[in-house]
Amino acid sequence: MSSSPACACCVCPTHGPAGHSADQSGYGADQSGGGAEWAGPARRYLESVVAWLDGPEASAAGHGELEARMQVHSREQYRLLLQGHLDERARLELRRSGVTGSDGVLRPRVENGHRRGLTTVFGSVTVTRKAYRAMPGITAADTAADTDTDADAAADAGMARPGASDALPGPEAEPLLEPMPEGTATTTAATTTAATTGPASEAPVPVAPVQNLCPADAVLNLPSGRHSAGLARLAAVEAARGSFADARAAIERASGVRLGKRQVEGLARAAAVDTEAFYAARRPHPRPDRVLGLQADGKGVVMRPDSLRPGTAARAERASAKLATRLSPGEKHGRKRMAEIVAVYDLEPAPRTVADIIPTRRRSAQDKPARRPGPVVTGKWLAANLTDDLPAVIAAMFDEAERRDPAHERTWVALVDGNRQQIDTIREQAAARGVTVTIVIDFVHVLEYLWKAAWTFFYPGDRDAETWVADRARTILTGRAVDAAATIRHQADEAGFRGRERAGADEAAAYLTRKAPYLHYATALASGWQIATGIIEGAARHLIKDRMDITGARWSTPGAEAVLRLRAVIANGDFDEYWQYHQQQQLRRNHLDRYQELDLAA
């Protein structure tokens, strides 16, 4: 083979790792047994690319065109390398003995040349391997019903059972000219008839076919479908990032592989199946000196009509548009399904004062003192669920918290937005698990009620309203929410407001009185806890709004649930670790569970 110019790729078989010549590394030299012959097509393709780069067309091209051409060429180069490697593995695959499926059926017969397609990030390749088949006429039912009987029992059933000598592996079959499709079974008949001594009118009994086994598939950890793990990972990341159409375009840009939108969604759904098991198996590092923080929230997702909850679907059917060309005030385009979001995290306390939250008076930028830093959050875990109801999601949040503090030795603090169902569910879970949880309502929600009250006493835009709200807020932060409510009511009485004039003031006063048990901000500040639900509010925007609220999106329940779970794993910074776990589970599901025992290193 003629020599080629120096290559900096450090990967191609012609040049090998940097700093090694072809002869030194063994690449490019013909070896006994054909050890390097599998790379011939890749070498020839590389030489054709080098020849093109030496030609006039490449010499006249701009760097952008060269980049685009080389990107395409590199994919084909690596596809040929991968195909050659797979072919070489097929050539070197050793025959196994004692291949027995999980159904208990031995598969002593071996057929070469079974092929299946695989679409990778470089393009399509073909995987060739040996298929192990059971003896003709043997079914899983036979093995289960007759583990210790002799050939006489088989004769009573109207079929001959092979002896020990028949089960020994015979000579390898010739490669199949027409590769058998995946899932080909040994039992060719769909049914069997009753014994000849039985009634002639007895109906045929269906026979479960015995599936072929390909141990090489397990060694390669091939997917159950056509698309490789690399494509599945790419689809999971891109589907979590943007619309399925955008994900489809991003995959094509990155790999040159064209997928349909439904294929992308299917790959994303399959990629998310192990998220719950992944987090259930994790054991976070103990943090006895940190406060254990919990937060919960909910946000609606616009669903397809067939994916709505029964109550919402019934209301949608009863509703009818008043106008033909547009919606009337109060009408909505779509119906939503509530997605519940929860967060668990470790909190390094940072005590603060009321002045750190709301200064006592306005100061210039130069005269303004520096505020103390707030609590530091680490080990954040987010989860979103569209299929389960709030109690189930809160229970999952407590499960994660108990994984971090199984002995209930840490301080647990739950921040909520004031939703009564959230509070009741947290209290029920805490009582059932025997753990003390301090519930604090988000201070930002309290401020919103104070501003509603302020517009009872001030005109919109009046700067004195800001001072009034700050004074009431400082009172609440010192732990005197009931006093603040009494002050608001008294001020409205003194002004002589009636009915709707004082609606904002009455609503705020009632809220402060009703939620007073959860407004102990003085304790929270002194203990160094958070007083706002910024984590869960940010999660609601990131996990749901930024992805699920894309204009025109209407979600199916499985698709939305998969995207939510993937976005949560990515937001937690766990995607790489999760993907390794997912691949291990795929190996078990798709391959190892089909065998009684399988040595992947054999």
3-state secondary structure at position 456: helix
Contact 50, 12 (CB under 8 A): no
pLDDT at 8: 39
Contact 504, 538 (CB under 8 A): no
> Which token pair is 367?
């005269």
> Which token pair is 85?
């490697």
The rounded distance, in Å, linking the Cα atoms of 310 and 316 is 10
Give the angle subtended at the CA of 95 by the CAs of 94 and 96, to the nearest 5°.
Answer: 115
pLDDT at 322: 63
* Residue written as token pair 């198996």: 281
The rounded distance, in Å, linking the Cα atoms of 145 and 508 is 74
DSSP structure class, residue 2: -
Give the angle subtended at the CA of 429 by the CAs of 423 and 432, to the nearest 5°.
Answer: 140
pLDDT at 174: 35
pLDDT at 265: 93
pLDDT at 2: 38
The rounded distance, in Å, linking the Cα atoms of 336 and 330 is 15
Nearest in space to 266 (alpha carbons), one of 221, 304, 234, 235 = 235
DSSP structure class, residue 595: B
Residue ranges for the chain with pLDDT beneath 50: 1-35, 147-184, 187-201
Nearest in space to 208 (alpha carbons), one of 194, 189, 224 = 189
Backbone angles phi, psi at 414, to 5 degrees: -110, 125
Contact 594, 183 (CB under 8 A): no
Contact 212, 186 (CB under 8 A): yes
pLDDT at 33: 42
Residues in the chain: 602
> Which token pair is 597?
């025992």
pLDDT at 304: 63
In the beta sheet, which residues pair with residue 119? 124, 227
Amino acid at 450: L
> Which token pair is 347?
């909190």
> Which token pair is 356?
């750190």
pTM: 0.74
The rounded distance, in Å, linking the Cα atoms of 14 and 26 is 10
| Reduced DSSP (H G I as helix, E B as strand, rest coil) percent helix, strand, coil of the chain, to 5 | 45, 15, 40
